[in-house]
Each structure stands twice: as structure tokens, then as C-alpha cells.
Structure 1
């Protein structure tokens, strides 16, 4: 068998990780016990829940599980723990840069309001980054199930905290609901404030949702975007514009977008020249973290170490990391690839 390098040691950036979804299952159990929250078996069994969100009932069940998990985050201490543990998991998987996505309105009722909630989150990010050595920033995400005026409020708040660690603005939840163009003003506010536009599209909905993100929201990155593989002209457009798709293979399979890992169109996007940043999305519910996405690309799509290194470079280039951090990570990726293949080959991503 051909020797391969350890993908956990491949330096990379993690650009698609949701806040509550980053939680360790063991932490969820402890917090649920602390607050007397009854967890359904899907969250307490120790195994990833069986999910399928390709219909409304399936999406509702997924969202309900997520909401139950989020209800266990009630104090600044809980927030600090979650962010620190997410950073620790990323360091183990070779991430030197993490952009974590959060809708602060979801936590505001228990944390003293919208602004205090975001301040608590950003303080936790700053502390975790200092303690672990991984660079961490925040994408504030609006919920497309809510009114577009709420998104404008969030965009203004995100811009206000651009100097405190907010680097981007997103749009999450069921992309089959609402029109991207309804949120164009919110994204305009975010872009004018210097934030990167990274809405979700092209997972549960087809190529048209990716096109809407490009044309109506002027996205610099697309959360997921895999369904663009069904439209060669759209692939060419993404490649020409250098728009990165934040592809989350394990999530795609868990939610029923594709039946098995080999069906996720990683090769189609890669060979079309569409930049990709592999992400774990919601490890709490999908059962795998960042390095596992690179393993999936290797095991099910035949990506060589050189191609995995290029995926890692694409993640770094698409990030909001400062120039010196990007250059260090890119140099370390070259070092990983130059090292002899073997079970312990490579170089740590952070130091």
C-alpha cells in the first residue's frame, strides 16, 4: 500500500463551522445535565443522529435537534468552553485559521441582549485564539427564515464589530425558503463595511441558489455550493470569479443531499477550477471534524497528497487571515508536501 502523509498534520484553514454545531458531544451531555435539559436519544446516544433534510419534515427534525443543543448554552462560561474546545479540535486537525459562524440573536435572550451576546462571543474567540495558537475570527450569519430587516440589523452590528474580530457576513438556514435578493441590502451594508460575503447556497437547493448568491448578494464565498456541479456554465463562472465553495462532504451525505461520500462532486468542482475550502459544518450532528473531510477526499475520490495540499492552499487563500498568517500557512503546506510520506510525516500547522 502506498504511504501517505497524515492529513491531521496538513496545515489548513477551516471556513465553514457553525457555532453550536462545533460542540463536543460530551460537552453537550454535561451541559444538558447541568441545566436539566432532556436530550432526545438522537443527541444522547453517543452516535451521530440519523438525518435526512431533503424534505421539510427532515429539515425540521435537524433544526429541532440543533435548537435543543443550543438551549444548553446559557452562560458566558459555556460560550468560552465551546469556543476553546472548538479551537482545540481544530488544532488537532491541523487548522491554523478558523472562521466560526454564529447568529448572535440565537444567544441574546440568555446573554443579556444582542450586543452583549456578540461581545461575549468575541471575547471567547480572542481568549481561545491566544490559548491555542490558532487564529480565530467570526462570521455573523443572518437567518433566512426571519425577516430581511433582521438581517440588516445584524449586518450593521457585524460592521460595528469589524475591528473586534468579525470578518464576514453570512446567510444560513433552509436555503429553499425565501429569496436571496430579499437580503441584498443586508449584504450591501456588510460589504460596504469591509466584510466578506459568504451566504449558504447550492446544498438543499440546486444551481440556481448558487447563481442567486453570486448575482444578488455578490458572494465572495458560497457556503456549500456543491450543486453547482450540475451546471457547467455556473462552474465556469465560479472558477472565473475565483469564488470559493465551502464544501462539507460529511454534511452533504448526512443530510441526504448525496447518498454516499463518493457521490459528492469534489472532483467535478476541483477539475473545473472552482476553489474549495473543505469544512465540517456541524460536527456535533454529523460526527466528523475537519481532517475527516480531507480523508474522505483521499479515500473516496482518489485525491493525491499533492491535490490535498492544493485544497489546503485554496482554503487559506479564501480565508480572511492576515497576509503574514497566510504566507506562514502556505509555507507550512509546502513543508508537509515536501516531507517523506509515512504515518508521522508532515509539519504542525501552528506553533
Structure 2
């Protein structure tokens, strides 16, 4: 079989704290004298029920990890290591999602927090060859006015180049907040040319996806896996060209599906949906980007040609520069043209192996 780590791809659904290596989190916690739950450090991945109790446990663990991130050096380290790990897995484009509110106090506010992330994204792009863009995400757990503040901040740094804000998202528990109340924030982001990339359709089903489509006009839908439950809705998503950022490991860890085989990846692909596989929160789910492609191969029976199509979909759904897009698409063709077991036809090697 061809090496999935050498398949060029784009990574469009990765959360900032959730991207951390287990070893990095352990080191930060040790340095700060923080005692963390063992489930954050065992690297095995969570298995939670798909109810509010399960989400509460997930959020509590995420918050515990985030509390270890204090200051500029930590922010830079997380960006750099996320890009390094993506490079090792064949990702030539990373769009990492961050809510700067979470990291603002130690660096003097949301603007400095975002500027640090953007600056390191530019530096990592130059050093590692992985083009890194940033998505600013608001939280459903906060007031919609907070989302407008973040949308205006994102708009100030909007652009399609490395180290610029390329999109605006909405994350956290889908069962919280009124989706329509976040529409003004997304209107601000759209006027600035930012991609609309809210979460939807993982914890809740088709009616929630309908709400997100109507209120937030997504270009991509974070998760969106449960559009498979409604054929008419799925056709709308396909016809409108809305990409689905599918994160199979997340779906199973959060109890949306019992096991990998239940994730309707094949059904969505057969319906013509644009799919971009993502790792979401590898720190908590114990599964990185290549693991999602491996699941498609080993569990869902995707051939190498079909895996190449998934990679192409992720690249085309990204906000990558034209040059990066063309280079990655050519690399996919070259990967598929090699015989299994051959060396990478481009001569490139992964920058570093992921740790943790």
C-alpha cells in the first residue's frame, strides 16, 4: 500500500489547544506545577457518551489543557509543533482554529494573542514548507456580541496568505446558544472576505444543519457528518458546494457513532459531498490526520485512488494560495502514479515525526 504520510493533503479542522502533543502538555503542566487528569496524558483517546454529561467531561479536559498555555512562548510552540506534525503527515496546508480570548490575559489582550499566532504561522510556513493560515473562532458558550468583537478583529487581519486570518468559525457545544444570533458576526467576517466555517451537524442532526445553513451561510461546515441522515439536506449541501470537514475520530470519541464503521463517510462521498478529513483535537482523541485517512482505507474500504480524491477535496476546499494548491494537487497525482512501496516521487521527506 502507498504511504499515506506521503500523500499531499490539506488539514482544515484542527483546534489550537487540541493540536498539542501529549509530551508538550505534560512538560507545560510540570513546569507550572499543574496536576492533570491521567486521561489527558495517556494518549489513548476519549470514549464519551453523546450527551451533555459527555460533553461536560470533554470540555473540562480541554479547559485543563488550555490552562497550561500561558504566554507568548507557549503560543508559538503550539503553532510550530502543529505545523511540524502536519508536515510529517504530508499536509502542505494547515488552517488552525483559535479563539484568542482564551489566551489573551498573559499577553495583554486578544489582539496581541492573535498577532503572536499569526507571526509564528508565517515563520513556520517559511521554515517548514507547510502553508499555515488561521481561523478565528467564536464560542457558542459566550454572548453573540463577543462573536462580533472577534469577527472585527479577524477582519483586521484578513487575507489568503500564510500567517493571515482566512476564516471565521463558531465552535463549542452545538446545543448551546441561538445560531441566528451569531449571524451579524458572520456578516462582518464575510464582508472582509473571510470564509464562513462554523461547526454544525455533529452533536445535533439535520435540523441544526438547516439552521446553520440559513443563518451563517457556510463555505465549509465543521463536521457536518449528520447531513447524511437527510437526503434532501445532503443534496442542498452538495449543490451549494459546501465542504464538510469530517473528523471520524471525534465522532466516535464523542459517542455520535459507536465505532469507526458507523461513520457515514462512504455515503457522503457517494452522494458527491466535498470532504476534507481533519483530526479536530488529536490531544484528546488520540488520532492525527493520517489516522483519518487510514480509517478510510482500512475500515471503509477506500482505494488509493479514492484516498487521492479525498486529499484533492481537502486541497480544493482550503484557502491555500494558487501556487500551493497547484503544487499539492500535482503531488497527489504523483503519489498515485507511484507503485506501492516506492519512494516519494517528489523526493520530499517528512520534516519530523509527530511526538505524543
TM-score category, normalised to shorter length = over 0.9
- Specify the alignment match of 2:134 in structure 1: 138
On the 8 A contact 1:14/1:279 being kept in 2, the answer is yes
Shift of 1:47: 3.0
Distance 1:343 1:302 in 2: 22
- Specify the alignment match of 1:11 in structure 2: 8
On the 8 A contact 1:329/1:349 being kept in 2, the answer is no
TM-score (norm 2): 0.95
TM-score (norm 1): 0.96
Shift of 1:148: 0.5
Deviations 1:157-215 (A, max 9, x none): 00001145000000000011112111000000000010000000000000122222211
Distance 1:335 1:344 in 2: 11
On the 8 A contact 1:202/1:225 being kept in 2, the answer is yes
Q: Tell me the secondary structure at the aligned position of residue 273 of structure 1.
A: coil
Q: 1:50 pairs with 46, 49, 53, which one?
A: 46
On the 8 A contact 2:196/2:220 being kept in 1, the answer is yes
- RMSD of aligned residue pairs (Cα, Å): 1.4
On the 8 A contact 1:142/1:172 being kept in 2, the answer is yes
Shift >6 Å, 4+ stretches: none
Deviations 1:248-277 (A, max 9, x none): 001111111101000000001000001000
Q: Tell me the secondary structure at the aligned position of residue 95 of structure 2.
A: strand
The 5-angstrom pairing of residues 1-351 of structure 1 reads 4-44=1-41, 46-163=42-159, 165-342=164-341, 344=343, 347=346, 348=348
Distance 2:130 2:344 in 1: 21
On the 8 A contact 2:46/2:286 being kept in 1, the answer is no
Deviations 1:29-62 (A, max 9, x none): 0000011111112123x23353315111111110
On the 8 A contact 2:137/2:168 being kept in 1, the answer is yes
Aligned length: 347
Deviations 1:85-120 (A, max 9, x none): 111110111000000000000101122111111111
Residues 101, 25 of structure 1: alpha-carbon distance in 2 compared, 3 angstrom cutoff: same
Distance 1:47 1:294 in 2: 19
Q: Tell me the secondary structure at the aligned position of residue 39 of structure 1.
A: coil
Q: Tell me the secondary structure at the aligned position of residue 162 of structure 1.
A: coil
Q: Which runs of 5+ in 2 are unaligned?
A: 352-356
On the 8 A contact 1:203/1:257 being kept in 2, the answer is yes
On the 8 A contact 2:88/2:350 being kept in 1, the answer is no
Q: Which runs of 5+ in 1 are unaligned?
A: none
Shift of 1:349: 8.3
Distance 1:51 1:39 in 2: 18
